[in-house]
Chains A and B, each alone.
Chain A
């Protein structure tokens, strides 16, 4: 028995029984034959790579890191982790300027918000898009998310921080780059909902980007530094806050699972208290410790898209239950499909076609259902769906905020 235990690797690739189920659920395989598929790229390739690193194959970069292979695996093999860990360990390609710009959501955001109107206008001008396409290889067909002129953090400090301290109970909010630089309204909505539930919101002391884009663009050192800082500040916050809540499924997933699995950063002291706001709110409402009062005349036909990392977290049900709870909502859950954007992946010129092909079944279904808007917990899914279908996408937390009685 002991010998067996010592022979099981951290990412348990030897548990793979070659059943091929993962390949059925990989969104890349049907549209990009250059990608070797999760079984070959993951556990099969790992056997070879353990012999010699030269067996590493650069085509592993086509993996979206959506983790759908892991959700499907009957043997519990961490296939997606094996692939990403191999890219980290053996990848020889250095990140390009383009990759650094796309992945540096924190850095780029802090500059762009200062001159937001200029940046937003410039990024929509055709010649600029052509130059970005030609020089940087950022696809010209992509619509860029807009930057806000005031960050969420600065709004919060000016407008909200003081009154949060009137509450007896608190949560810390990991807002992420998107709510901070692009869409502060999401953060404002979270504050509104948590306040309605009797909770004050606090910011973390020096939040860093979760690092999801840094990891996928090979900027591991910076990702690891961010991870260590975030674990430390989350741990400090938990001494006075009940939980660290997020509104982005990929941020929360990264904080909980990618830190220990891919970056080797131990988060065991905080992990159980780091979750998405929807899960926390669901627990609170279910236990009867708090309740929300909704508008009587709220009406919306909503189709919910479960982001890949939300599927992996297994928490889509909490968002679904919360939105369904609002009187006047007509609710559909969309089929389990990847939207194709996968963070920065779909912005890259070489991935544009694949990205849109992956998302097509989802886009088609949304158009057939024709909802008032789509609900979704992930900002990059939001950009992709809004750009590709024309339908508006709202975070479940924002939907709750919009439906709250004034």
Chain B
């Protein structure tokens, strides 16, 4: 089966890359083994929260100069990154995803434990805060009765320690009783399915009206809007108060909605999404990839002019760690992990874990390297890239989106 570009990996990076190429008229296929890390999304995209040496970052674009030359952002370069940052909201808007926040400046988000952490842009229904302190004096924190993946007491404790007056309350909805019968499935997505019925949402809003009192704002678990966002605005309007959604334990309602919209956008543009299939059996002719196979396709080959590796890191099985080395699983590419295992990790659990930064080596255009030589038509995007520590630096989504933009643009310019 022939395509212009084949992308391995259907997460944020693979979908963004595929969408950009497909919109520009290239015929793309995405091979996706299992669902992606978007299902664990916090509801926010981070660009660069701190530098590799630990300095907090307010303006990510200004901090790019401080990064090592192997960092994906250094390879893209400040000029292009600036243009990409300015374009990002429009890009996502194209498939109905409205991002909130200033694309050139970091803001803050409320974490599920009630702390304020740096972030960049918010997915629909989440809000970006200007400072790391709670903007409200009195806050009501509401949970759904029986929902264990959202802890109001944690949030209240953290906010109160910084002077915000908090009350907590529980929404009792008889419509939830059915799913409460099964506590192990009383999860964000299933709650969202019940709340998606407008009469249930209206009922919840009615109950909140009674409990809101003189609170300035209401914090709610992010259990609204599995298919369509907009619940926050509706609730704010009905209550006449500020509302902020706070991430729950996975599955992430907002992350899944975003993933579904990206996938729908990709397919609507004509892209082919092969769900639940695993790429394997890559074939090379010298430094050129000639085709890949897939577990489901068997002997039917998938062929394209160019290939994008967006498999993700360890969690998504892009990388596997063996006792003495770290391998890339589809092509056996060169990785930047040192052979000395002790260097991979830090014994302080909360310290910087270097293994998270490991990934494939690439040239300045994200072309992959195997056995020391550059492969001319295989690019890498997203967390499979080495050179940055998404967890420590807070640069996971930015790396995924911008490296995908960059790779797509390289492919387009080469085939112009």
On A, residues with C-beta under 8 Å from B are 1, 17, 19-21, 23-25, 29-30, 33-37, 39-40, 44, 70-76, 272, 275, 279, 282-283, 286, 311-315, 317, 321, 333, 336
Contacts and interface: CB of A to CB of B under 8 A. Distances in A.
Given A74-B315, A314-B294, A36 B276 contact: no
22 contacts: A19-B39, A21-B250, A23-B187, A24-B35, A33-B180, A33-B182, A34-B181, A36-B184, A36-B185, A39-B184, A74-B35, A76-B34, A76-B278, A76-B317, A272-B299, A283-B300, A286-B300, A311-B275, A314-B276, A314-B277, A314-B296, A314-B297
Nearest to A333: B267
Contacts of A272: 298-299
Of residues A36, A39, A313, A314, which shows the largest number of chain B Cβ atoms within 10 Å of its Cβ?
A: A314
Given A21-B39, A33-B178, 5 more contacts: A37-B184, A74-B315, A275-B298, A321-B1, A333-B267
A190 B322 CA distance: 49
A358 B272 CA distance: 26
Contacts of B185: 23, 29, 33, 36-37, 40
B329 to A, nearest CB: 12
Contacts of B178: 33
Given A314-B276, A314-B296, A76 B182 contact: no
Contacts of A317: 1, 272, 274
B180 to A, nearest CB: 8
A23 B189 contact: yes
Given A19-B40, A20-B251, A36-B182, A72 B187 contact: no
A76 B33 contact: yes
A28 to B, nearest CB: 10
Interface residues of B, number: 41
A158 B129 CA distance: 78
A237 to B, nearest CB: 19
A48 to B, nearest CB: 12
B371 interface: no
B256 interface: yes
Interface of B: 1, 33-37, 39-40, 178-182, 184-185, 187, 189-190, 193, 250-251, 256, 267, 272, 274-278, 294-300, 315-317, 322-323
Contacts of B37: 74
Contacts of B300: 279, 282-283, 286
Of residues A33, A75, A315, which shows the largest number of chain B Cβ atoms within 10 Å of its Cβ?
A: A33
A33 B179 CA distance: 5
A19 B276 contact: no
Contacts of B251: 19-21, 23-24
B34 A74 contact: yes
Contacts of A35: 182
A315 B274 CA distance: 9
Nearest to B226: A24
Nearest to B2: A286
A30 B209 CA distance: 28
B273 to A, nearest CB: 9
A72 B35 contact: yes
A24 B256 contact: yes
A40 B34 contact: no
B153 to A, nearest CB: 22
B276 A71 contact: yes
Contacts of A1: 322-323
Contacts of B276: 70-72, 311-312, 314
A40 B187 CA distance: 13
A336 B295 CA distance: 20
A72 B315 CA distance: 14
Of residues A73, A76, A317, which shows the largest number of chain B Cβ atoms within 10 Å of its Cβ?
A: A317
A34 B189 CA distance: 17
B184 A40 contact: yes
Nearest to B315: A74
A33 B181 contact: yes
Contacts of A75: 34, 317
A314 B182 contact: no
B270 to A, nearest CB: 12
Task: Give the top 3 A-B pairs by smallest Cβ distance, nearest first.
Answer: A314-B296, A71-B276, A74-B34
B35 A21 contact: yes
Contact of B189 (A17, A24, A314, A321): A24
A17 to B, nearest CB: 8
A71 B35 CA distance: 8
Contacts of A76: 33-34, 278, 317
Contact of B34 (A21, A37, A313): A21
Nearest to B256: A24
A72 B34 contact: yes
Of residues B36, B187, B322, which shows the largest number of chain A Cβ atoms within 10 Å of its Cβ?
A: B187
A315 B295 CA distance: 11
